[in-house]
A and B are shown apart, each in its own frame.
Chain A
Amino acid sequence: MDKRQWLEEVYRSSPERQQRFSTVSDMEIAPLYTPEDVSGDYEGKLGYAGLYPYTRGVYPSMYRGRLWTMRQFGGFGLAEDTNARFRFLLAQGQTGLSTAFDMPTLMGYDADHERSRGEVGREGTSVTSIHDMMRLFDAIPLDRITTSMTINCSASVALAMYLVTAERQGVAWEKLGGTTQNDMLKEYIAQKEWICPPRPALRIVTDTIEFCARRVPRWHPVSISGYHIREAGSTAVQELAFTLADGLCYVEEALKRGLAVDEFAPRLSFFWNVHNDFLEEVAKLRAARRLWARLMKERFGATRARSMTLRTHAQTAGASLTAQQPLNNIVRVAIQALAAVLGGAQSLHTNSMDETLALPSEEAVTVALRTQQIIAEETGVTNTIDPLGGSYAVEVLTDRMEAEAFDYIRRIDEMGGMLRAIELGFPQREIADAAFKYQRQLEEGAKTVVGVNKYQVAEERPINTLRIDPEIEERQVYRVRKFKRERDFSAVGSALSRVARACRSGENLMEPICEAVRSEATVGEICDVFRQEFGVYTDPGWL
């Protein structure tokens, strides 16, 4: 009997409980997959962990050799508050740090700027000057801990501050390991933190790639991120496609600088969202590795394995969590985290159950970290590499994700690449449409969110959430103003002029920015130079 015969003679007469079955991204799913659905040769498409095309994993021994890095994103209040949270997390067994900055820092404003009112230390920690960065990493050995910094339009400044902090701790730049997110393309597409228009922003990113390739060889200058694209409402395929297309754009820009592909590509890393649809997410991570490896090899002639391997951080999906019945979020996060592990991620953040209400409490963040530890040390899923490989359903989904993502990439190529596509608003509109469609499906009941459009309860039991003391803002503003009065003004002024000259001449900006940071110029002052030299980008407000 073949599959078609089975479908017609056996399956058809059995009732189905709904008309159509599809993933959370609305990819239609067949009732059963068999060897007939899986095409291609084993070695070419799957092969072995640590070998091209890396579908099964980027390292030969995967989690048998080393578990993923458990990296909880955190930050709030003053730098010393976050420093205390970091030390708490390290004491709990966390193996890497991940810094959340507040919105003013992320948008390139000092704490005492008018636009920072009400936002200082709220969604992350406030870093205005080198002194804040030094407080943030006080007594944390930067040569032994890797640090991720989620920051984009002001990432060049944050990186410079981190480098200068290392200098002052006596740690050589060559020893620093970590990541700046620094993915500006996805900012215009999804997360929407920006200072200048896309072209100069891309130039600054390329400066950091070039600088790190030469001076900070263990640093990941860019974490090419699908996370925010997905949070903004994209489908899994769109997340995959737009993120890889962003990656291609960075590679092309770095090549234009005269860098060889194998010189910088090994330091590009990725960041995926891991949503509720379990098999779709596992397939997405596998398809991402294969497609990136093929693109790097075939399009750019990469020869080093590390240039072709897509190494990735993953985070469970914030947008999938609900304010209703928040304890249910623990379950969602556990399932998503399991998908990330079965998808072969190198690093993982698990969201806390209370994140739709406030920044996570210490209790909530501990449960989230324990979830990873339970998966790692109790479930046994780490014993085998890529244990879902060979599942007909997972392989078919992997093939489809790869093919559909490649279709998008081809369309973006035809537009002239991602930068042009962004200027045309293409990925932005695709995502807004997908988000709106999903919302409609939710309201029509075609998709379910437990506790929101099904199984609701009337009375909610309140949970304890973290409160940010409004006095934090006053304290930081006071401290920043005092520091500004006491600096050597002329040193700041001439360092900032040097940054401005580099903006105009095309000289790599990183060395001048490091010098400005050493001279106690602030994040806002350096970003003001960008504003002056490159102009300010405003939201086109497309609906």
Chain B
Amino acid sequence: MALDVSERRIRILVAKAGLDGHDRGAKIIARALRDAGFEVIYTGLHQTPEMIAEAALQEDVDAVGLSILSGAHLTLFPDLLRLLRERGAEDVVLFGGGIMPPDDIQKLKQAGVKELFTPGASTQEIIEWVRQNVAPRA
């Protein structure tokens, strides 16, 4: 019998894009999501959007949480959205976190990033948001 879709655990790829090495936040979020019962895959540092899109497909994830603290968010988030779309994975929920000015957050949300968390966000807040906004893909 096929596993009921609603029973399947949500799979999340926590990814670090760009050249910077700030992984404190990404690792804490990955651990907190795992402790909250999600299946979590962590890419490690210095990934390109291509590598992340590829990993999202390979790992068949429901969401990608992208952490960027290098200031390249206006380049890397749109790249990843485009690559997911090109690979027919536009239903993968993309959310993220990092140091981003409010105007940039607005732009990225309009482009299709579902939510962006900034310094001071709690892991509980993020876990709650994932529960509300990410469902197992059909």
A contacts, CB < 8 Å to B: 103-104, 106-107, 109, 115-119, 122-123, 187, 190-193, 231-233, 319, 322-324, 356-359, 432, 435-436, 439, 442-443, 449, 451-453, 462, 465, 467-468, 470, 538-541, 543
Proximity bits, B9-41, A CB within 8 Å = 1, else 0:
000000010111101100110111010000010
Going nearest first, the 10 A-B pairs with the smallest beta carbon separation are A118-B75, A192-B21, A541-B44, A118-B72, A539-B44, A122-B71, A103-B19, A539-B45, A452-B120, A323-B119
What's the A-B contact tally at a CB cutoff of 8 Å? 105
Closest to B45 in A: A539
A539 to B101, CA, bound (A): 28
Instruction: Check B74 for interface membership: any CB of A closer than 8 A.
Output: yes
In the complex, are the beta carbons of A323 and B28 less than 8 A apart? no
In the complex, are the beta carbons of A465 and B24 less than 8 A apart? no
Known: A103-B18, A543-B42. A439 touches B75 (CB 8 A): no
* Distance from B62 Cβ to chain A, minimum over Cβ atoms (Å): 19
In the complex, are the beta carbons of A543 and B30 less than 8 A apart? yes
Question: Can you pick out 6 interface pairs between chain A and chain B where the beta carbons lie within 8 Å of each other?
Answer: A122-B70, A192-B45, A233-B24, A436-B32, A443-B122, A543-B27
Complex contacts, A435 vs chain B, CB 8 Å? 24, 27-28
* Distance from A355 Cβ to chain B, minimum over Cβ atoms (Å): 8
In the complex, are the beta carbons of A119 and B18 less than 8 A apart? yes
Instruction: Check B8 for interface membership: any CB of A closer than 8 A.
Output: no
Grouping DSSP codes into helix (H, G, I), strand (E, B) and loop, the A interface class, with mixed when no group exceeds half, is loop
Q: Size of chain B's interface in residues, with CB distance under 8 A?
A: 35
Known: A107-B19, A115-B19, A232-B24. A356 touches B119 (CB 8 A): yes
A467 to B24, CA, bound (A): 25
Closest to A319 in B: B24
* Distance from B48 Cβ to chain A, minimum over Cβ atoms (Å): 7
Complex contacts, A322 vs chain B, CB 8 Å? 119-120
Closest to A231 in B: B24
Complex contacts, A541 vs chain B, CB 8 Å? 42-45
Instruction: Check B99 for interface membership: any CB of A closer than 8 A.
Output: yes
In the complex, are the beta carbons of A119 and B70 less than 8 A apart? yes
In the complex, are the beta carbons of B72 and A122 less than 8 A apart? yes
B contacts, CB < 8 Å to A: 16, 18-21, 23-24, 27-28, 30-32, 34, 40, 42-46, 48, 70-72, 74-76, 99, 101-102, 118-120, 122-124
Complex contacts, A107 vs chain B, CB 8 Å? 19, 46
Among B18, B71, B102, B119, contact of A468 (Cβ-Cβ < 8 Å): B71
Complex contacts, A119 vs chain B, CB 8 Å? 18-19, 70-72, 75
In the complex, are the beta carbons of B44 and A540 less than 8 A apart? yes
- Other A-B pairs, 19, CB within 8 Å; known A358-B101, A465-B101: A107-B19, A115-B48, A118-B72, A118-B74, A118-B75, A122-B72, A123-B71, A192-B21, A233-B24, A323-B99, A323-B119, A324-B120, A356-B99, A435-B28, A436-B27, A439-B28, A467-B101, A470-B74, A539-B45
A187 to B117, CA, bound (A): 26
A232 to B101, CA, bound (A): 22
In the complex, are the beta carbons of A103 and B20 less than 8 A apart? yes
A118 to B72, CA, bound (A): 5
Complex contacts, A432 vs chain B, CB 8 Å? 27
* Distance from B49 Cβ to chain A, minimum over Cβ atoms (Å): 10
Known: A357-B99, A439-B123. A543 touches B31 (CB 8 A): yes
Complex contacts, A470 vs chain B, CB 8 Å? 74
Closest to A104 in B: B19
Closest to B26 in A: A543
Complex contacts, A452 vs chain B, CB 8 Å? 120
